[in-house]
Structure 1
Amino acid sequence: MSAMPHEFDLAHATMLPPADKGPRAAPNIGILAAQWEAVHEAAAAVGNLAQLGRESVTPEIEQLPHRAAEQGGWHYEMVAHGIEDLAAVMQPGLRALLSLTAQGQDTTAAALTLWREFHTARTAILDLIDAG
Structure 2
Amino acid sequence: MNELQQHWRRHKSYILYLLALYVLGWGFSSYEKIFLSLIIGTIVGLFNTWTLIRRVERLGRAVILGRRVVSLGMLSRMAAATLGAIFALRYPEHLSIVWIVVGLMTSYVVIMIDFFFQKNKEEER
Short-chain TM bin: 0.3 to 0.5
Task: Choose between structure 1 and 2: higher helix proportion.
Answer: 2
TM-score by length of 1: 0.37
Q: Greater CA radius of gyration, 1 or 2?
A: 1
TM-score by length of 2: 0.39
